[in-house]
């Protein structure tokens, strides 16, 4: 039996999330493949692809935690990026072939500020031809590599903030906070066009994702030094803690038993005046249900009418 198979035998960790500081020159799927070899991990995924050349926060749910992935997919992201002016590439980043060039010239700071300000708020983006979005079940980048680039319809994304950090033409360093699904390389290409000299993404670092920041992340190299599930557990954020923005309700013994048996739930199972229930019902949102020991029992959806609560997922522990 190979040594790697031996490392995978034994204890399986409880569900949770590992926040990885992704290195450059490695795909997000490649990070997942390497983490899956670690002791204690049976299932693993990630909640937002980073391009191979990009670095930064990659949220990786493990084991039962993979069932929480959908609650992270649509959260906001924050990036630190470098825009290189003067060149357009077919991939909209520095890995592609240059397809157009224009002298940058002496662009004023006021002109740069004015163009950047146009991209704050709701904007329309055409997804890049070299992306993982699919057309007829095939990723767009495969169509593009086969000489048949597909243009998807423009879609609306939201830029909460976009702040210039440094200008040393032809490069502009900036930070951007945006909704999931925003393409920073498309943003760079569009800014370059409006400045009249083309542009592409030179560097990209994800600083925040799904409520997790760089301070929460651990390097892949450090993770790969662990030799037991017990050692790896120190880097795992438990499921209840990982759902940072979701309101919590602690169940008593009777409610916990009812949930573990999958019985229907309604408002009468909860404290009618509990502010968590009231606010979640007002927003038609989700609540995480905790056991008395604060482990995650379930995630439920609370409709506006506060009746017929729906189970999103229920978790069982040995």
From 51, 75, 93, 216, active-site residue: 51
Look at residues 47, 45, 42 and name the one whose alpha carbon lies nearest to residue 14: 42
When pLDDT is averaged across residues 132-138 and rounded to a whole number, the result is: 62
Is it the case that residue 7 has pLDDT exceeding 50?
A: no
- According to the model, what pLDDT value does residue 316 have? 83
Look at residues 318, 200, 316, 190 and name the one whose alpha carbon lies nearest to residue 261: 316
Q: Token digits for 269?
A: 């199972």
Whole-prediction pTM:
0.88
First to last CA, the chain: 28
Peptide bond into 170 cis (omega under 30): yes
- 90 catalytic? Reply is no
Block residue for tokens 């940072």:
244
- Summarised one tens digit per residue, pLDDT across range 78-116 is 999 999 999 999 999 999 999 999 999 899 999 999 999
Q: Are 78 and 176 in contact (CB under 8 A)?
A: yes
List of domains in the chain: 3-75+211-241 (3.30.70), 77-209 (3.30.2350.10), 246-314 (2.30.130.10)
- Summarised one tens digit per residue, pLDDT across range 150-159 is 666 788 999 9
DSSP string, 191-224: HHHHTTS-EEEEEEEEEEETTEEGGG-EEHHHHT
Q: Token digits for 275?
A: 């502010």
- According to the model, what pLDDT value does residue 6 have? 39
Is it the case that residue 74 has pLDDT exceeding 90?
A: no
Q: Token digits for 130?
A: 């070299």
């Amino acid at each position: 039996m190979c040594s790697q198979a031996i490392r995978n035998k034994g204890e399986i960790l409880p569900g949770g999330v590992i926040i990885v500081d992704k290195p450059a020159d490695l795909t997000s799927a490649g990070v997942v493949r390497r983490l899956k070899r670690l002791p204690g991990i049976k299932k693993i995924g990630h909640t937002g692809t980073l391009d191979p050349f990009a670095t930064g926060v990659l949220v990786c749910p493990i084991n039962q935690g993979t069932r929480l992935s959908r609650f992270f997919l649509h959260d906001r992201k924050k990036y630190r990026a470098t825009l290189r002016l003067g060149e357009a590439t077919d991939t909209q980043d520095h890995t592609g072939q240059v397809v157009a060039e224009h002298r940058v010239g002496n662009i004023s700071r006021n002109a740069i500020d004015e163009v950047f300000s146009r991209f704050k708020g709701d904007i329309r983006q055409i997804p890049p031809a070299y992306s993982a979005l699919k057309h007829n079940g095939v990723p767009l980048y495969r169509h593009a590599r086969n000489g048949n680039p597909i243009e998807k319809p423009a879609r609306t994304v939201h830029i909460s903030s976009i702040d210039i950090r440094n200008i040393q033409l032809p490069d502009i360093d900036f930070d951007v906070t945006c909704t999931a699904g925003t393409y920073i390389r498309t943003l760079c290409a569009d800014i370059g066009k409006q400045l009249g000299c083309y542009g592409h993404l030179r560097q990209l670092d994800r600083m925040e994702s799904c409520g997790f920041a760089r301070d929460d992340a651990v390097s892949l190299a450090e993770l790969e030094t662990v030799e037991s599930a017990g050692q790896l557990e120190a880097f795992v954020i438990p499921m209840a803690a990982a759902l940072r923005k979701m309101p919590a309700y602690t169940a008593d013994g009777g409610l916990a038993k009812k949930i573990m048996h999958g019985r229907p739930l309604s408002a009468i199972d909860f404290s009618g005046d509990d502010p968590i229930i009231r606010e979640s019902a007002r927003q038609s949102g989700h609540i995480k249900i905790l056991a008395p020991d604060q482990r995650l029992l379930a995630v439920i959806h609370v409709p506006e009418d506060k009746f017929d609560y729906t189970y999103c997922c229920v978790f069982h522990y040995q």
